[in-house]
Amino acid sequence: MEFSHIFNSKSTRIIAFFALFIAFFNVNAQETADSTVLSDVHAEHAVEAEKFDINNFILHHIADAHEFHFFGKGEGWTGLYLPVILWTDNGLVTFSSREFQLDNDGKVVVEKDGQRFTRYHNKIFYASDELHHGAYLEMEDGEKGEHIVLNAKPLDFSITKIVFTLLFSIIVLSVVFIGVARSYKKREGKAPKGFQSLIEPVILFVRDDIAKPNLGYKYERYMPYLLTVFFFIWFNNMLGLVPFFPGGANVTGNIAITLVLAVITFLITTFSGNKYYWAHIFKPNVPWWLYPLMIPVEIIGIFTKPIALMIRLFANITAGHILVLALISLIFVFESVAVAPASIIFVLFITLIELLVAFIQAFIFTILSALFIGMAIEEHH
Amino acid sequence: MTGTLAAIGAGLAAIGAGIGIGKIGGSAMESIARQPEAASKIQTAMLIAAAFIEAVALFAVVVAFLGN
């Protein structure tokens, strides 16, 4: 069959490019021959089944990881081994995370070009030469009895599970919306058809209920940002609720991602502030003897608003995921199938609420961003 | 002991969220009963206010996590 027609469209070219990019990394990383692996793992693993540790289970699913796990455990582990990219003192080092052999306790050392790396609790360190307490790391005890690792770390730029899902959602959103934009141009003056008619009410909702009331007549400049943030947060929230690949990674529940979104809102607010905005902060409309109280409060207020945006989105999404995971693990904590019907019904109910929360959190983030930008560009009455 | 205090703190935050969202839900119910035509506007405003209150409760949960 003749397939070259798929490259006629720009969006499929973009998909093909990204697919090749990711595939190249995987293939390249797995073919490097000069790596040796030392492991002490097999001798130490006990044969009997371990007790189900609910804390570990939940934290493992909320946190980031260097592999994308589909299903299976131990020998039957099935998943996608994502590339590990490290910036070390000797330059860039890349390899597939397959070489860590799913080890997360510092027991497996990967050697590349004379540098040795080991992974402990999802962080990659330079490995020590000998085993200390079963791991190739030097550790000391922290105040609460947890272990603090003393080894140095290279800079970790790996494509982790969350980065992978982020790239995936960027590709999907770009393809969908560039396609919709192109069909608007093609069907100029005609009624919308297909996916356009699905997206159009939502875009009009953002314009009429979020942008126009808060931004006034200058709303068109900020519409691209508000639409991007709204659909990005909504789509990633929904992806996090899907239990199988490519969903299931906790993207918006990662505080680094929400931090970046909040910082962008903060930058847009600060850089579009007009003189009335700064006057309200540094010369508020109060008697002069209140200035020593009001001005610090206003200045702190500039920073707490984006911080609140960040924590609100992060905590809502992460709390939702923790709730669903905890309800599912009830089955394993009680170790009986009889709990399953009740647990599944609870999980269904909570997942429906989480779908609503996914939309609401996107809506709240967008409307608050619009509010802050509107306060910054407000004209004098 | 720190773990138990953190759990108690999170529980208090849940009480606060429950009271706050309960009050909002209650006044939303009353105003919809008084004026059924404005139901969708009131619902939107109620959801926005509920999200704010939930955010404050979740601040407390995050602090409880940190203190654990």
Average confidence (pLDDT) over B9-38: 93
Q: What pLDDT is attached to residue A18? A: 64
In the sheet where A155-156 sits, what is the strand order? A91-96, A83-88, A155-156
| Residue from A312, A359, A363 whose CB has the most chain B CBs within 10 Å, to mutate | A312
Residue of A nearest to B45 (CA): A364
For residue A268, which of A128, A150, A371, A148 has the smallest C-alpha distance? A371
Reported as a pLDDT band with limits 50, 70 and 90, residue A237 is very high
Q: Residue A372 pLDDT more than 80? A: yes
Q: What pLDDT is attached to residue A3? A: 66
Which chain A residues contact residue B59 at CB under 8 A? 308, 311, 315
Report d(CA A248, CA A162) in Å as an integer: 9
Q: What pLDDT is attached to residue A45? A: 43
Q: Assess whether the previous peptide bond of A246 is cis (omega < 30° from 0).
A: yes
Written as six digits, the tokens of B7 are 């759990």
Per cent of chain A over pLDDT 70 is 86
Cβ pair A98, A81 in contact under 8 A: yes
Reported as a pLDDT band with limits 50, 70 and 90, residue A145 is low
Q: What's chain A's average pLDDT?
A: 82
Q: Residue A347 pLDDT more than 80? A: yes
Comparing A16-30, A69-83, A165-179, A358-372, the range with the smallest average pLDDT is A16-30
Q: Residue A19 pLDDT more than 90? A: no
Residue type, A25: F
Average confidence (pLDDT) over A269-292: 86
Q: What pLDDT is attached to residue A43? A: 39
Q: Beta strands A36-39 and A105-112: pairing type?
A: antiparallel
Report d(CA A62, CA A363) in Å as an integer: 23
Reported as a pLDDT band with limits 50, 70 and 90, residue A281 is confident
Q: Residue B51 pLDDT more than 50? A: yes
For residue A354, which of A310, A319, A329 has the smallest C-alpha distance? A319
Q: Residue A39 pLDDT more than 50? A: no
Of B48, B52, B61, the CB nearest to A315: B61
Report d(CA A251, CA A161) in Å as an integer: 9
- Read off the pLDDT of residues A79-112 as tens digits, 9 standing for 90 and up: 888 888 888 888 888 888 888 888 888 788 888 8
Task: Give the SS3 label for residue A251.
Answer: coil
Report d(CA A39, CA A109) in Å as an integer: 7
Q: What is the pTM of this model?
A: 0.81
Strands (E) across chain A are located at 36-39, 67-71, 78-81, 83-88, 91-96, 105-112, 115-120, 123-126, 139-141, 147-149, 155-156
**Which residue(s) pair with A132 in the sheet?**
A135
Q: What pLDDT is attached to residue A172? A: 93
Written as six digits, the tokens of A301 are 């207020």
Q: A212 versus A37: which is more confidently predicted?
A: A212
Reported as a pLDDT band with limits 50, 70 and 90, residue A64 is confident
Q: A284 versus A222: which is more confidently predicted?
A: A222
- Read off the pLDDT of residues A214-223 as tens digits, 9 standing for 90 and up: 888 888 889 9
The DSSP call for residue A96 is E
Written as six digits, the tokens of A247 are 């969903």
Written as six digits, the tokens of A63 are 């946190």
Per cent of chain A over pLDDT 90 is 22
Q: Beta strands A78-81 and A155-156: pairing type?
A: unpaired
Reported as a pLDDT band with limits 50, 70 and 90, residue A49 is low
Q: A140 versus A317: which is more confidently predicted?
A: A317
Q: Residue A36 pLDDT more than 60? A: no
Contact A364 B51 (CB under 8 A): yes
Cβ pair A115, A99 in contact under 8 A: no
Half-sphere exposure of A255 (CA within 13 A, CB side): 8
Report d(CA A83, CA A21) in Å as an integer: 12
Measured CA distances, A172 to A147, A176, A231, B37 (Å): 41, 6, 11, 39
Reported as a pLDDT band with limits 50, 70 and 90, residue A189 is confident
Contact A315 B48 (CB under 8 A): no
Of A316, A364, A367, the CB nearest to B58: A316
Query: In sequence order, what are the residues at sequence separation of 6 or more whose Cβ sits closer than 8 angstroms to the Cβ of residue A336?
Result: none
Report d(CA B11, CA B14) in Å as an integer: 5
Q: Residue A341 pLDDT more than 60? A: yes
Average confidence (pLDDT) over B41-46: 88
Interface of chain B toward chain A, CB-CB under 8 angstroms: 2, 44, 47-48, 51-52, 54-55, 58-59, 61-62
Which secondary-structure segment (H or E) carries A344? Answer: helix A340-376
Reported as a pLDDT band with limits 50, 70 and 90, residue A77 is confident
Of A315, A361, A367, the CB nearest to B62: A315
CB atoms within 10 A of CB A29: 20
Measured CA distances, B19 to A61, B14, B15 (Å): 31, 9, 6
Comparing A38-42, A297-301, A359-363, the range with the smallest average pLDDT is A38-42
